[in-house]
Chain A
Amino acid sequence: MREKSRSKKWVLLWLLPAVAVLAMFYIVPIFNVIIYSFSNTSFFGEKIGGFTFNSYKTLFSSKTFIDVIKTTGVFVLASVFFQLLFGFLSALAVVWGENKGLRISPVIVRTIILSAWVLPGVAVGIVWKMLLSEANYGILNYYIKLLIGEKIMFLSSPKWALFSVILANIWRGTAFSTIIQYGGLKQIPPELYEAAKIDGASSWKRLLYITIPQMKQMNFINLALITIYTFNTFDMIMALTGGGPGRSTEVLSLYIYDKVFGQWSLSTGAASAVVLLLINLIIVIFYYKAMKIGEISHA
């Protein structure tokens, strides 16, 4: 008993530096942001203003903020759905190739997919901006014009601009989804497929009744993580459209950046950041529950 409590003290002692770093660089700034959000603080003031709900009132009564939330919602839903779908399909393709005895092509496919993920977001935004350019020297529009006779306003039409940022985000984020789902597919016991084949199940039925149910926990985790990443996407959209034209691609992360560093409106920016934090917290709780479900089902 004494041994246990002594070793517990040592464990706490060893954890202390990590806790101190986490507290200093995560907890304290988050705490500060929450305080700013309940004040009228600006960069011009000498000190933090008194407690007030003004920033939240301004935020939730602003049509602009509601539009930003809607844009963010569309961006996240579309990105997450297609990242999950394409990630699943590409993981299936890689595993299928491996099962067929192919060695090199699955590696090539995995590398190509991963290369999209390792690129910095700004680079992705710039590359897609060049690809989607509506000028005479725009690559994609050159071929589109040959095919249909006119260009598509990928970045200057509000609907096409949102489509463009979603497309670039799917291109970038599918890789992560592929890795997670590849790992999930590799964990499925092959005996299940063998038994199903013996029972006469078709490929489609094996997919529906074995693969997808077995992937449930992995997909919950994948869904939670890519949703968090997508909600926090900033660099790629900033480089690609800057939030324009108008506000058509202004997602919550860009709105926060603009409020704090563009307009120097610290308290409103902090309030928006708290909203984003709450959204992320809800997703983390969902992720935690998914982990628990997984642990129970595996036990």
Chain B
Amino acid sequence: MFKKQVLLLGIITLIGIFACAAPLVTSTHIGSHDAPISITWLALPHYSLQNPYENRQEYLEEAFERWVRKNPDVQVNLQILSGSIGQAMAKLLTQAKSHVAPDVAQIDSFYLPRFYDVLQPLDEFFTEDEVDDFLPYVEEGIKDSSGHVKALWFTTDVRVLYYRKDLIKNPPKTWDEVLTLGKNLKKEHPDMDIFLYPAGKGEATMICLMPLFWAQGGQLVDSKGRPVFNKGKNHEYMLNLLNFLQETVETGITPKRVTSYQGESDINQDVAAENVAMFIGGNWQISQIKDLLGEEGLKNWDIALLPQKKGNLASTGVGGWTWGIFTSDPVKKAAIVRMLNDVYVGSAGMYGWCSTAGYMPTRRSVYEDYAFYATNPWMQKFLAVMEKGGRPRPGFEIYPTISNELQIAISSVISGIASPEKALETAWNNVMQEYEK
């Protein structure tokens, strides 16, 4: 009987010890459950503590451990963003309009303008220098029409022309150069698909190909958000783009199957099979190419600016992720900004997160002050491309319809369903029908 009592006491003591020693950082909760300030935080899995990538998980656990020891009065409850990005952002916006959004959430930079009205201003937490430290398009993107900082854009991405150095000595700068080079390469390598780009149903098609329209001076919408992509000079610029894409297929340098590429990374299979000489892709594909081909294989690849109609033009599509704060509670807001700065947004936090996860930082100081970026030739090349004409997609309500219709137009032209003129006319009519509804 006595032995049983001792055993029971021992078990209770052990349970008590484990309960008291509960970790401060778990996959769903940060901080002590008794902390007075409670925050709800919504993030994508691979940006959160439920990370499928081991190195990111380690970085975040350490970063949050440090932060929570400095902020013992705060606890954070993690929620996960799931489903497709469009679906998740639609759900988040609905929650925000109904005043039931989490205190802080991850918002795709592409959707950010639609959240301006429901996000809290953050100007009080940042000096002018700190805001100026952001890349130009980032600084513009995080501010609403009144100039208030409404979000913290902490990772970005950029589109470039990847090309094989063993096949191409000088990367093409113009469309004519792409076609001439492509035709010559096709003669030497008839089984290879020379020039690839995403042209299927997906936002990658827009972000990779619209820079070829923008660089000519094209506008998708005017300053009030009215569609103008088929009006005036824009009509000519858009037809130029569609005709160029049609020519890449007709000359045989691009296969029609690019209409099945819904994302930039779909091209990786061709890279692995050494089936492509040049392609339009995103900066993150550098590490993917390295994983596929090894260091030696990566040496065969380089990047350049996207080829444009004329050599003196430059533009590239950019994206990335932001943090937006919905709570108006000043204590919570301050705690959230401290947390985000430490882990993702401040100079040191951004360096830690981006270098671990392989993302491009949005602060110039990170590229200058940290050797990982300052001495990395790839990073400096990407920075140069971003600064030479990084352009986010317009944040107006009609943009998703424009995007959808132009994706279909591009796909129709490439697969031969419609001529460039017909495809553009159909896209325009459908967009205007939705706009004028």
- The residues of A with any CB-CB pair to B shorter than 8 Å are 40, 42-46, 54-55, 58, 61-62, 64, 129, 133-137, 153, 155-158, 241-248, 258, 260-265, 268
Q: State whether the Cβ of B437 lies closer than 8 Å to any Cβ in chain A.
A: yes
By a CB distance below 8 angstroms, the chain A residues around B260 are: 129, 133-134, 155-156, 241-242, 244-245
23 residue pairs from A and B, CB less than 8 Å apart:
A54-B437, A58-B434, A62-B430, A134-B256, A136-B193, A136-B275, A137-B275, A153-B257, A156-B414, A156-B415, A241-B201, A242-B201, A242-B260, A242-B262, A244-B201, A244-B260, A245-B412, A245-B417, A246-B415, A246-B417, A247-B412, A261-B86, A264-B86
The 8 closest A-B pairs by CB, nearest first: A242-B201, A156-B256, A245-B415, A246-B412, A245-B259, A134-B257, A261-B86, A263-B400
B259 CB contact (under 8 Å) in A42, A244, A262: A244
Of B54-62, B90-98, B123-131, B161-169, the one contacting chain A is: B90-98
Given contacts A261-B90, A262-B86, contact A158 B415 (CB under 8 A): yes
For the complex, what is the distance from the CA of A248 to the CA of B259, rounded to whole Å? 12
Q: Is the CB of B273 within 8 A of A137?
A: yes
Count of chain A to chain B residue pairs whose CB atoms are closer than 8 Å in the complex: 118
A135 CA to B256 CA in the complex, in Å? 10
Residues of A within 8 A of B434 (CB): 58, 263, 265, 268
Q: Which residue in chain A gives the minimum CB-CB distance to B249?
A: A156
* Interface: B270 (CB within 8 A): yes
* B residues 43-99 touching A (CB-CB < 8 Å): 84, 86-87, 90, 93-94, 97
Most buried by A among B257, B414, B433: B257
- Known A44-B93, A136-B273; 12 more pairs at CB < 8 Å: A43-B94, A62-B430, A133-B260, A135-B275, A136-B193, A153-B257, A156-B415, A242-B200, A243-B201, A244-B260, A261-B87, A268-B434
Q: Closest residue of chain A to B256, judged by CB?
A: A156
Bound-complex Cα distance A45 to B273 (A): 48
Does B202 make an interface contact (CB < 8 A)? yes
Chain B hits for A260, CB < 8 A: 90
Number of interface residues of B (CB under 8 A): 41
- B180: Cβ under 8 A from any A Cβ: no
Quick one: closest A residue to B417, CB to CB? A246
Known: A156-B260, A245-B411. A43 touches B401 (CB 8 A): no
The verdict on B288 contacting chain A, using a C-beta distance below 8 Å, is no
- Cβ-based interface call for B355 (8 A): no
B415 and A261: CB pair below 8 A?
no
Residues of B within 8 A of A45 (CB): 97
Measured between beta carbons, the chain A residues less than 8 angstroms from B387 are none
Chain B residues lying within 8 Å of A158, measured Cβ to Cβ, are 415, 417
* CB of B13 within 8 Å of the partner chain: no
Residue B191 at the chain A interface, CB threshold 8 Å: yes
**Pick the contact of A133 from B90, B257, B411 — CB < 8 Å?**
B257
Tell me whether B257 and A155 are in contact (CB under 8 A). Answer: yes
Could you mark each residue 197-213 of chain B with 1 if its beta carbon is under 8 Å from any beta carbon of chain A, else 0? Answer: 00011100000000000
A258 to B203, CA, bound (A): 12
* A246 contact from B86, B400, B403, B418, Cβ within 8 A: B418
Q: Which residues of B contact A46 (CB under 8 A)?
A: 97
Contacting residue for B411 out of A42, A61, A246, CB 8 A = A246
A157 to B401, CA, bound (A): 24
**B residues within 8 A CB of A258?**
404
> Could you say which residues of chain B place their CB within 8 Å of the CB of A261?
84, 86-87, 90
Q: Which residues of chain A come closer than 8 Å to B97, judged between CB atoms?
A: 43, 45-46
In the assembled complex, the CB of B101 is this many whole angstroms from the nearest CB of chain A, namely: 13
Q: Which residue of B lies closest to A132 (CB)?
A: B260
Whether the pair A245, B414 counts as a contact (CB closer than 8 A) is yes
Complex Cα–Cα for A64 and B275 (A): 36
A155 touches B259 (CB 8 A): yes
Assess A134 versus B86: contact at CB under 8 Å? Given A42-B397, A246-B418: no
Is there contact, CB below 8 Å, between B401 and A263?
yes
| Residues of A with C-beta under 8 A to B202 | 242
How far, in Å, is A210 (CB) from chain B's closest CB? Answer: 47
| Distance A187 CA – B414 CA, assembled complex (angstroms) | 53
Is residue B255 within 8 Å, beta carbon to beta carbon, of the partner chain?
yes
B193–A135 CB distance below 8 A: yes
Chain A: CB-nearest residue to B401: A263
The verdict on B381 contacting chain A, using a C-beta distance below 8 Å, is: no
* B408 CB–A CB distance under 8 Å: yes
Cβ contact of B397, chosen from A157, A241, A264, cutoff 8 A: A264
CB distance from B259 to the nearest CB of A (A): 4
Question: Is B114 an interface residue, CB under 8 A from the partner?
Answer: yes
Indicate if the CB atoms of B275 and A156 lie closer than 8 Å: no
Is the Cβ of A244 less than 8 Å from the Cβ of B200?
yes
Determine the distance from Cα of A265 to Cα of B403 in the docked complex, in whole angstroms: 13
The residue on A at minimum CB distance from B418 is A246
Tell me if B269 counts as interface (CB < 8 A to partner A).
yes
Question: Which of chain A's residues have a CB closer than 8 A to the CB of B408?
Answer: 244, 246-247
